[in-house]
Amino acid sequence: MPHILTCPICEEALLKNDNKLACSNNHCFDFAKEGYVNLLPSQHKKTKEPGDNKTMIHCRKDFLKKGFYDFLSPELIRIIRQLPDSDAHKVFLDSGCGEGYFTDQIKTQLNNDYIYYGMDISKEAVRLAAKRNKHIHWLVASSNNPPIANNSLDIVLKINAPLNYDNVRKKMTDNAVVISVTPGENHLSKLREHMYLKPQAHKQEETPTDFKLLQQSNIEKQIKIQTREDINNLFMMTPYYWNASTKVRQIIAELDMLETTAAFNINVYQTTNSI
């Protein structure tokens, strides 16, 4: 593993030593048998199992593998290929990668010599991700303050995940980019209708400080979900399920078909040289 990871306790560089990473102050982090490393010290955890719960993670894994959202990766790949000086970009981080579905698709389809990292605060998600692709460096860590050396990331991707732009900016090289994917206005509009939720415009993200907006695109697709299992996996991978009443849960559980829009906004921000 290249030396861009830092100790989450003392922030010294981590070096690989047998099957673990260690800093000069002897803080050690073992690689799990699946190949990921857990850089989330227990004192940094707000709950026992931070991040998405296991049910959400497994529902998302089962839903995504059916390919309903596969139209997203080609657009992300197109954007990455068209970045100014795309060959100069070498270190890629998927922040909040979940179980690594898109990280894996992007690495496989770009098939270049970038160094790929996937990071999520959920150990269960990263465990599944590590089983999916052994050629990506997977870490359990908080995106709030990634254990990564300053000035090392060239491309940061975040798909429907939070990001602390101020902290991540320090870890990025000059002219690096953040590719931010958020739900589009019509995302899952039909599902929301079944829940009696008024279609609401998802709030557009504002350009973060010390970044400039390089480009913006919206993509959407009609998806037809034809089994109860897939519909429920979709429902349970969203926050909607966890806030829904028993009655709404029952209505969705009994749907045999759901035809809805899947929509994503993609904003690309470039670091400015002001800091």
Contact residues toward Zn ion (CB under 5 A) are: 7, 9-10, 12, 23, 25, 27
Angle made by CA atoms 84, 87, 93, in degrees to the nearest 5: 90
Distances (CA, A) of 177 to 69, 93, 111, 116, 257: 23, 11, 19, 15, 39
Minimum CB separation of residue 149 from Zn ion in Å reads: 13
Residue of minimal Cβ distance to Zn ion: 7
Provide the CA 70 distance to its chain's centre, in angstroms.
15
Distances (CA, A) of 158 to 24, 28, 48, 120, 242: 31, 28, 24, 11, 22
Specify the amino acid at residue 52.
D
Q: Which two tokens stand for residue 7?
A: 């100790």
Minimum CB separation of residue 9 from Zn ion in Å reads: 5
Q: Which one, 25 or 204, has the nearer CB to Zn ion? A: 25
Minimum CB separation of residue 22 from Zn ion in Å reads: 8
Q: Which one, 21 or 262, has the nearer CB to Zn ion? A: 21
Minimum CB separation of residue 42 from Zn ion in Å reads: 15
Which long-range CB contacts under 8 A does 27-31 form with residues at least 24 apart? none
Q: Give the Cα separation of 274 and 260 in Å (integer).
A: 43
Q: Which one, 9 or 110, has the nearer CB to Zn ion? A: 9
Minimum CB separation of residue 45 from Zn ion in Å reads: 17
CA proximity to 181, closest of 76, 258, 90: 76
In the chain the beta strands, taken as DSSP E runs, fall at: 15-17, 20-22, 28-30, 37-38, 91-95, 115-120, 137-140, 153-159, 172-183, 211-225, 258-271
Alpha-carbon radius of gyration of the chain? 19
Q: Give 3's DSSP letter.
A: T
Minimum CB separation of residue 97 from Zn ion in Å reads: 24
Minimum CB separation of residue 24 from Zn ion in Å reads: 7
